[in-house]
Amino acid sequence: MTLDTFADLLIEIGTEELPPIALPALSKAFADEVESQFEGYGISYGSVERFATPRRLAVLVRELQTKQSDQETVRRGPAVRAAFDDSGAPTKAALGFARSCGVEIGDLDREATDKGEWLIFKSVTPGQETASLVPAIAEKALASLPIPKRMRWGDRSEEFVRPVHWVCLVMGSDPVKGSVLGLQAAPQTRGHRFHHPETIAVGKAADYERLLEDRGHVEASFDRRRASIEDKIRALASEQGLTARIDPALLDEVTGLVEWPQPLLCHFDSEYLEIPPEVLIETMQSNQKYFPLEDAEGRLQSAFIVITNLESKDPDQVRAGNERVIRPRFADAAFFWSQDIKQPLESFAKRLETVVFQDKLGTIADKSARVARLGRHLAASVEADPDLVERSAGLAKCDLVSSMVYEFPGLQGIMGRYYATHSNEDPCVCQAMQEQYLPRFAGDMLPSSPCGRALAIADRIDTLVGIFGIGLRPTGTKDPYALRRASIAVLRILIETPVDLDLEDLLKTAAEGFEPGILADDTVETVLAYMLDRLRGYYGDRDIPADVVESVVHVGVTNAFDIDRRIAAVSRFLTLASASELAAANKRIRNILAKADPGVADSGEVVADLLTDPAEIALAETVSQLAAKVLPLVEQRNYVETLECLADIKDDIDRFFTEVMVMADDEAVRNNRIHLLASVAELFLKVADISRLQ
């Protein structure tokens, strides 16, 4: 190793083809773990660059400290007054401390503190050469990767996600000696499996990426390779006057499949365009990892782009191979389509009686009947025709037993819409077939049709009540019925669409649709608490503090749309100059009420004749005036103006607490003052419990 203080470090692990979907996560975790290891050793570095291809994970640590700093440690012994006797001779305590440190009494130092003087021993541990630590650091980082199932290979005992074939460790321009996962490190990497299968010597760590690109036909950076693939796809599509349909997840997966990406334009028979385009797109993307092409109006064209992993000498043969592979898949899809549309969508309903939704909760047909009943209940709230909602629920799951969805499960709902349209169902029913699954993920669109909203809410509420009712609530990271996602989806629809609907009432109605004895007695309360708890995460993503949400939820409101209006009002209230003082005053009031004799705070009205102090008389008059003003505002759900009006009570509350002794000796006066404070709190509780605001 050179005498330079800092140097670049390359750690590369060469493997069999890594799982493409997991590659970005593995690469990030590997870099993060390497950084964590160096920080743990107290070794400084500039930055860490990540590299990931199907056959390698690598990091390039820039400006890495080549030697660990010396570590000074200080051990404190006994106090000086206890370390020596009156004659100055060391006591057993001092001798024992020196012996434990491996030195003589004279080698110990002293340290003065506020509590006296102490014997101490200072020692310096020389820092280790960074290169000597690198193999162990790499090994620990690899062992910490999020790999659900590791494998062994050959007769080796080491484990990893895929067999490891080489390890390259280079610091600056020097090889790093050592072994990782049972393989001796060497200053060499390997290029593309076909274009350059030979080893490539790595003379300097900083040259790694350039060497692989120039000599090895490998673009080592995942991010740059991904950007390159996207640019090449768009450019090739543009040459044809078309636009590529690029799904980000598919782009990531393809990036994880190739090291030297090359785009290739392919075609298929235009007669297949008579099939619903979603079927063709699903086949191209999910099965073949192809990128479909569309015209300027978004219509699917009989062409696609494939990303190959090499520069072929005969691209026409590669093109023909990909076109040949897709043909039978499209032919199967065409057959499924033709068979499914021979009968109306409702003809599939009978088969739902043979498909189990959950052992204790019955079949899909049973679930559909419950959803239809619940859908009729909430139809008015979403301004939908109850008959159309019921019809939508009866048909909603029929496409699950169609040939097309059996082959392509990702098309559920989409095919239902096509089959409903082909069966001449009402447009609202047709749209609901697909919208019942919205939103599918965070940030996804919400159902826009009345039937779609009713179906999306009813289906998820039925699942939540049923699964919770039989004791299968989510635990930790396990949520097989996606109840967290279902809860957030319902809340989003209720809040953002919006739907003015009481959640507790909806849950009770859903519970009544199950056979007696199936659900636990506390099912509605449990599901309601679970769903309201999801509001903290929902509003947290919108940068609304948890205490604001808690202040509203605590007053017992169970209408999500109403909760949202209250949260907006409290957020606005916090911008007022008096907000913090009013929150503190309410907290003081809540504490007084909590300490009062049981039932006193809730047991009576304020008696005017018992009000004697000018401050309490003024507060009582203000409460009366504000009550008359804010009650109509609360009825109108004008919570912003309600809290703005209540802010006017600040001066009277301040004066009351300054001039009035709440806990008076006279019990009647004391209780009357508690009633007065309770009336103040009650005004604010009509919107939120602002005493919970931080």
Contact 98, 107 (CB under 8 A): yes
CA atoms within 13 A on the CB side of 31: 19
At residue 286, the pLDDT reads 93
Structure tokens belonging to residue 159:
């484990």
Q: What is the mean pLDDT of residues 8-15?
A: 97
Report residue 181 CA to chain centroid gap: 33
**With pLDDT > 90 as the criterion, what percentage of the chain qualifies?**
82
Q: What is the mean pLDDT of residues 121-150?
A: 91
Question: Given CA atoms 318, 321, 323, 326 in this order, what sign does their dihedral have?
Answer: negative
At residue 114, the pLDDT reads 84
Contact 258, 222 (CB under 8 A): no
The span from the CA of 506 to the CA of 508, in Å, is 5
Kindly give, in sequence order, each residue whose CB lies less than 8 Å from that of residue 653, ignoring residues fewer than 6 positions away.
Answer: 582, 585, 619, 680
- Helix and strand element counts for the chain (H, E): 25, 18
Q: Output phi, psi for 205, to 5 deg.
A: -55, -40
The span from the CA of 417 to the CA of 430, in Å, is 5
CA atoms within 13 A on the CB side of 262: 14
Q: What is the pLDDT of residues 253-312, one digit of tens each?
A: 999 999 999 999 999 999 999 999 999 999 999 999 999 999 999 999 999 999 999 999
At residue 4, the pLDDT reads 53
Kindly give, in sequence order, each residue whose CB lies less than 8 Å from that of residue 75, ignoring residues fewer than 6 positions away.
Answer: 101, 120, 121, 123
Q: Are strands 356-358 and 291-294 parallel, antiparallel or unpaired?
A: unpaired
What are the C-alpha distances in Å from 276 to residues 294, 330, 415, 418?
A: 14, 11, 8, 8
Contact 204, 49 (CB under 8 A): no
Q: Does residue 195 carry a pLDDT above 60?
A: yes
Among candidates 497, 681, 526, 500, which has minimal Cα distance to 596? 681
The span from the CA of 578 to the CA of 694, in Å, is 14
Label residues 440-460 b or e (16+ Cβ within 10 Å = b). eeeeeebbebbbbbbbbbbbb
Place of tokens 């159309």: 388
At residue 476, the pLDDT reads 78
Report residue 581 CA to chain centroid gap: 36
**246 three-state secondary structure:** coil
Q: What is the pLDDT of residues 459-476, one digit of tens each?
A: 999 999 999 999 999 987
Q: What is the mean pLDDT of residues 449-461?
A: 97
User: How is 207-234 classified by DSSP, letter by letter?
Assistant: GHHHHHHHTT-----HHHHHHHHHHHHH
Q: Does residue 2 carry a pLDDT above 60?
A: no
What are the C-alpha distances in Å from 501 to residues 382, 387, 551, 570, 668?
A: 9, 20, 20, 21, 43
Report residue 42 CA to chain centroid gap: 32
Kindly give, in sequence order, each residue whose CB lies less than 8 Å from that of residue 238, ignoring residues fewer than 6 positions away.
Answer: none
Question: Given 3-state DSSP classes, what are the helix, strand and coil percentages for the chain, each rounded to the nearest 5?
Answer: 50, 15, 30
Structure tokens belonging to residue 297:
């109006």
Question: What's the mean pLDDT when you consider all of the chain?
Answer: 94
Place of tokens 């490891």: 164
Mean pLDDT check: name the lowest of 180-194, 385-399, 487-501, 669-683: 669-683
Report residue 214 CA to chain centroid gap: 39
- Binned at pLDDT 50, 70 and 90, residue 1 comes out as very low
Q: Does residue 603 carry a pLDDT above 70?
A: no
What residue ranges in 96-254 does DSSP mark as E strands? Answer: 109-113, 116-125, 164-171, 174-175, 179-180, 183-184, 188-190, 199-201, 243-244
At residue 123, the pLDDT reads 83
Place of tokens 């049972």: 182
98-105: Cβ within 8 A, 24+ apart? 101/75, 101/77
Contact 514, 370 (CB under 8 A): yes
Contact 10, 203 (CB under 8 A): no
The span from the CA of 125 to the CA of 373, in Å, is 75
**With pLDDT > 70 as the criterion, what percentage of the chain qualifies?**
99
Q: Does residue 536 carry a pLDDT above 60?
A: yes
Kindly give, in sequence order, each residue whose CB lies less than 8 Å from that of residue 174, ignoring residues fewer than 6 positions away.
Answer: 1, 2, 131
Contact 225, 204 (CB under 8 A): no
Q: Does residue 225 carry a pLDDT above 60?
A: yes
The span from the CA of 677 to the CA of 319, in Å, is 81
At residue 124, the pLDDT reads 78
Q: What is the pLDDT of residues 329-373, one digit of tens each?
A: 999 999 999 999 999 999 999 999 999 999 999 999 999 999 999
Contact 506, 491 (CB under 8 A): no
Cis peptide before 439 (omega within 30 of 0): yes
Q: Does residue 609 carry a pLDDT above 70?
A: yes
Q: What is the mean pLDDT of residues 513-530?
A: 96
Stronger pLDDT, 427 or 81, i.e. the higher one:
427
Cis peptide before 248 (omega within 30 of 0): no
Q: Does residue 21 carry a pLDDT above 60?
A: yes
